């Protein structure tokens, strides 16, 4: 039996990497998924993969930091399936620098994508969720909904050279714990997963200079030097970085009905690394 049968899930940044793995995992358990990416092609690839596996999906293309995006994504769920059961705020990227070299634009971009965008999506979903809970209460029903926000070990412990990223991911933790207290009365579980070193295109091994990755209109330098990856693998008790499937599994745990009495928590998916 699929544990998420007919649940409606919103997953930001789900055209690639961890987000795609999350969307596919939820869909494999029966969820209908609103897929998001900046670009059409990766979003439609995820939608096609979900449909090929026998579940339902639709794409909401666009930048999560755009002022109108949150309403569009919420409406995509309501118009297609009439409700919202799961929200995974996954979209994000690192734009790193030490403080003396960090521009206002870099700082603000990290807060916009990691803190403001999830806030707007949750705010846009608040009224539809409240109305659904009211109708369910009148019908004598209690249905638990799920919010899973994505943080990072950088947001828990900080990381040199990632001041803006660490600040944005720390804000996610505060938002998670505050909203768990606000939305408990609506039977919404609000939790966060803080990832350690997960092997994605953003953390791939590079030779020499970091490679440029297009994020909207920006070209962001990403990638990790081989010697640092070797150092991380020595530091991680499990001896390696995590896969995107393992990252998705951590999120999935908070979407299950077995987690209906867990809220306001932050779990590290880091292979045992605590720094």
> Per-residue pLDDT tens for 64-89?
999 999 999 999 999 999 999 999 99
| Per-residue pLDDT tens digits for 92-146 | 999 999 999 999 999 999 999 999 999 999 999 999 999 999 999 999 999 999 9
Structure token digits, residue 237: 């008790």
pLDDT at 124: 98
**Which residues, in sequence order, are CB contacts of 237 under 8 Å at separation 6+?**
271, 272, 273
Q: Strand pairing partners for 88?
A: 11, 148
233, 239 in Cβ contact below 8 A?
Answer: yes
Residue 28 neighbours by CB distance under 10 Å: 16
pLDDT tens-digit readout, 134-156 = 999 999 999 999 999 999 999 99
Q: How far is CA 1 from the centre of its chain?
A: 25
Protein fold of 8-196+242-269: Rossmann fold (3.40.50)
- Whole-angstrom Cα Rg for the chain: 18
Residues 225-261 have pLDDT tens digits of 888 889 889 999 999 999 999 999 999 999 999 999 9
Instruction: Note the pLDDT of residue 187.
Output: 98
The pTM of the full predicted model, rounded to 2 decimals, is: 0.95
Handedness of CA 91, 95, 99, 104 (dihedral sign): negative
Query: Closest Cα partner for 220 from 103, 123, 89, 49?
Result: 103
What residues does each domain of the chain span? 8-196+242-269
Task: Round to whole Å and give the CA distance between 259 and 145.
Answer: 10
pLDDT tens for 194-237 read 999 999 887 877 765 556 677 877 888 778 888 888 988 999 99
HEC-encoded secondary structure of the chain: CCCCCCCEEEECCCCCHHHHHHHHHHHHCCCEEEEEECCHHHHHHHHHHHHHCCCCEEEEECCCCCCCHHHHHHHHHHHHHCCCCEEEECCCCCCCECHHHCCHHHHHHHHHHHHHHHHHHHHHHHHHHHHHHHHHHHCCCCCCEEEEEEEEHHHHHCCCCEHHHHHHHHHHHHHHHHHHHHHHHHCEEEEEEEECCECCHHHCECCCCCEEEEECCEEEEECECHHHHHHHHHHCCCCCCECHHHHHHHHHHHHCHHHCCCCCCEEEECCCCCC
Is residue 45 packed enough to be buried (19+ CB in 10 Å), middle (13-18) or exposed (0-12)?
middle
Q: How confident is the model at residue 1 (pLDDT cuts 50, 70, 90)?
A: low
- Positions annotated as catalytic residues are 165
Q: What is the pLDDT of residue 65?
A: 98
Q: Please state whether beta strands 57-61 and 86-89 pair in parallel, antiparallel, or not at all (unpaired).
A: unpaired
Rounded CA separation 130/1 (Å): 28
pLDDT value of position 208: 56
Give, in order, the Cα–Cα distances in Å from 162 to each of 27, 42, 259: 33, 27, 32
């Amino acid at each position: 039996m699929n544990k998420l049968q007919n649940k409606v899930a919103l997953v930001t940044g789900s055209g690639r990497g961890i987000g795609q793995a999350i969307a596919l995992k939820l869909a494999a358990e029966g969820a209908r998924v609103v897929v998001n990416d900046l670009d059409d092609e990766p979003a439609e690839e995820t939608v096609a993969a979900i449909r090929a596996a026998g579940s339902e999906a639709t794409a909401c293309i666009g930048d999560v930091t755009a002022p109108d995006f949150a309403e569009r994504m919420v409406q995509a769920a309501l118009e297609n399936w009439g409700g919202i059961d799961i929200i995974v705020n996954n979209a994000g990227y690192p734009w790193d620098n030490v403080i003396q070299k960090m521009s206002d634009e870099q700082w603000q971009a990290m807060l916009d994508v990691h803190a403001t965008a999830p806030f707007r999506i949750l705010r846009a979903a608040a009224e539809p969720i409240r109305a659904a809970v009211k109708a369910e209460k009148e019908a004598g029903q209690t249905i638990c909904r799920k919010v899973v926000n994505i943080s990072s070990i950088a947001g828990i412990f900080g990381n040199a050279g990632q001041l803006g990223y660490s600040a944005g991911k720390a804000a996610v933790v505060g938002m998670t714990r505050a909203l768990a207290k606000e939305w408990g009365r609506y039977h919404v579980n609000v939790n966060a997963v803080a990832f350690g070193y997960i092997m994605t295109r953003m953390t791939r091994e590079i030779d020499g200079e970091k490679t440029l990755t297009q994020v909207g209109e920006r070209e962001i330098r990403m990638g990790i030097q081989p010697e640092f990856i070797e150092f991380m693998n020595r530091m991680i008790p499990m001896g390696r970085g995590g896969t995107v499937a393992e990252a998705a599994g951590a999120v999935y745990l908070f979407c299950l009905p077995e987690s209906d009495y867990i809220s306001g928590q932050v779990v590290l998916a880091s292979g045992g690394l605590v720094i």
